[in-house]
Amino acid sequence: MLKIEQVSKYFGGVKAIHRVNIEARQALITGLIGPNGAGKTTLFNCITGIIPPTEGSIVFKGRPIETLPAHRINRMGIARTFQNIRIFREMTVLENVMTGAHARLQCGLGAAVFHSPKMRREQAEVTAHAIDLLEQVNLTPVRNQYAQNLPYGDQRRLEIARALASCPELLLLDEPAAGMNPTETSLLMNLIRSIRDRGITILLIEHDMKLVMSICDSIVVLDHGETIAEGTPGEIRRDQRVIEAYLGIRHDEVMHA
């Protein structure tokens, strides 16, 4: 599905990521872990076209995408969420999700003024899909509230719903559990699994080791911009280099999660 080969991103002399290789396989959850500053979010930014990689190739569904602008990459079937939530705060919850479906909307001015049947049908389809997505993330009751008024955990799930609205084949989740309580996190785990079970490939950055170890099909560990390990959760847990990279509390978490 997604193949990242020898991708590097340098900011001046800083090697944010250096010759990273990652493969996200169809309908599997690939975890991306590593200490803060390991280059995980930078990699997401390269994949989604926010910043071009300095070198290397990113191939999605057999096509190179490393030089495409962000909106084209989204239209090809890649959606993402952000570490620091970036919902449209001044839109309602439902509007946020509808905006995620932007590329599928056609509605022009004529249709809006005259309420043409085509527009109504199309609008109805997109709205139905959006409402369905809100149902899946348990946000139906608040769908007409402004997004900025939602509690933190709800905003995170809204961002996931918005990403799903574009009908992506690959979903990038950047620390979706950050700031969530244990109950919310376990609901989130079920949500991520159900997204995968629908055939959507997932690339997941997360610091919550329990979550990563229990839902990922494979894991890639980055440290200082380089891949230091790769394998199943079981293999990663026993990897000496990973344990060293995660000294202290993280160490215990990796060992016992």
Report d(CA 79, CA 199) in Å as an integer: 14
The answer to whether 91 contacts other proteins (rule: CB under 8 A) is yes
Contacting other proteins (CB under 8 A), which of 5, 95, 132, 253? 95
Task: Say whether residue 131 binds other proteins (CB under 8 A).
Answer: no
- According to CB under 8 A, which one of 32, 43, 79, 202 is a site residue for other proteins? 79
182 binds other proteins (CB under 8 A): no
- CA nearest 179: which of 149, 151, 148? 151
Alpha helices in the chain (DSSP H): 40-47, 70-76, 93-100, 109-114, 117-136, 152-165, 182-197, 209-215, 233-238, 240-245, 249-256
Using an 8 Å Cβ cutoff, are 237 and 213 in contact?
Answer: yes
> What is the closest distance, in whole angstroms, from the C-beta atom of residue 101 to other proteins in the complex?
8
Residues 6+ apart with CB under 8 A from 101: 126, 129, 130, 165, 166, 167
Q: What is the token pair recorded at 107?
A: 């509605």
Rule CB under 8 A: choose which of 30, 41, 42, 48 binds other proteins. 48
The answer to whether 74 contacts other proteins (rule: CB under 8 A) is: yes
Question: Residue 127 in contact with residue 151, Cβ under 8 Å?
Answer: no
Report how far residue 153's alpha carbon sits from residue 87's, in angstroms, rounded to the nearest whole number. 12
Identify the three-state secondary structure at position 116. Answer: coil
The verdict on 75 binding other proteins (CB under 8 A) reads yes
Q: Does 42 bind other proteins (CB under 8 A)?
A: no
| Among 24-32, 67-75, 213-221, 249-257, the segment contacting other proteins (CB under 8 A) | 67-75
Residue 6 main-chain phi, psi, to 5 deg: 55, 40
Q: Which is nearer to other proteins, 104 or 224 (CB)?
A: 104
Stretch that binds other proteins, among 20-28, 107-115, 217-225, 238-246 (CB under 8 A): 107-115
Pick 109 or 247: Cβ nearer other proteins? 109
In the complex, what is the shortest distance from the CB of residue 248 to other proteins, in angstroms, rounded to a whole number? 33
Residue 47 binds other proteins, judged by CB under 8 A: no
Q: By the criterion CB under 8 A, which residues form the site for other proteins?
A: 48-50, 69-71, 74-75, 79-80, 82, 86-91, 95, 98-100, 102-103, 105-109, 111-113, 162, 165-166
